[in-house]
Chain A
Amino acid sequence: MCTMIVEKVNIEGSGKGTTGWFKLEGANVSFDHPFHAPFEHALNIDFVNESQGTSARVAVELSEDAARELVRTILAVLDQAEAGGHLSMSDSIARSA
């Protein structure tokens, strides 16, 4: 690694990888060398389930601007969902599933 800047977070959800959908257990967020994006460093997010092997991974590599805009957009969408009373509904569906 060159920057070694990485944070791990446990998450719930599903991701679609090269072999189809799989259950997500975590996300690794780093600012380090990307594999594909044409930048020296990128904001990389690997959505993973390590118990299913290294290929259980959904990867994105974003520019700094794109990453910040994505964060703002995610929060804006969640705010809208909360204002519409949808978050509690989603939570209750998840709990009953």
Chain B
Amino acid sequence: MTQTDQYEGLMAETVMMTGANGDWINAYLARPLGAGPFPALVLAHHMPGWDEWYKRTTLKFALHGYVTITPNLYFRAGHGTSEDVAAKVRGEGGIPDDQAVGDLAGAMQYVRALPYSNGKVGVFGTCSGGRHAYLAACRAPGFDAIVDCWGGRVLMMPDQLNEKSPVSPLDYTKELNCPILGIFGNEDKNPTPEQVDQHEAELKKHGKNYEFHRYDGAGHGFFYDHAPAYRQAQAVDGWQKVFAFLEKHLRPQRF
């Protein structure tokens, strides 16, 4: 973190970027001011959409020295308030996995090409964003670290598969080529602790570099400080784990 006698500044704005299928979509980009080089992060927003919590989280990572981009994964659903757009997507049964992976890969390429990038790019997501982040880390070569916070439906049963989600994300585990941090609440129903066990077993089976942390007294979305799900002590510890992991893998010169 910046010392009190140091200059610091942030810049944040909406940008346009190339997503899946060459589509032009918007994204929220925040970055520390200065020449860098800075590590970068791609955020996969959650089911409630490209909302204020995700924009605040984009700023939070930038404050910690990461060039951070959060693509609007619901761009194609039209425009309006983030809730109205997310409600439309919810009514449509979500977005196609391939599209989410393509958008997140496009965001990775965008930030890696910036002149102040150190070349390292991680991906972070919560809820459905944790699932999309996992899919992207497995399927889009080039991510250097992934943080999956309580991603639901990483393990899918055959009767849950459909046109938009034709493959259970867990089945891509063999293709994961970067370290993964998992943050989970033991009172979560999606994923359940048993599903987290299965996820961990799959990572172990394939010899992946993983680090899972599970919190008692916490359920789904316990980082969400605007919601009843928030659990202060668990969230503070969880954020510490997130930043320690990212510093280790995206800014290795400090170690």
Contacts and interface: CB of A to CB of B under 8 A. Distances in A.
B91 A40 contact: no
B36 interface: no
Interface stretch (B16-24, B80-88, B109-117, B170-178): B80-88
A7 to B, nearest CB: 9
B90 A32 contact: yes
B29 to A, nearest CB: 24
B90 A40 contact: no
Chain B facing A: main interface SS = loop
A54 B127 contact: no
Interface of A: 1-4, 6, 8, 28, 30, 32-33, 35, 38, 40-41, 44, 46, 48, 50, 53-55, 57, 59
B153 interface: yes
Nearest to B152: A2
B47 A54 contact: no
Contacts of A50: 88
B170 to A, nearest CB: 16
Contact of B220 (A2, A6, A54): A2
A54 B91 contact: no
B153 A2 contact: yes
A53 B219 CA distance: 34
A54 B80 CA distance: 6
Nearest to B89: A1
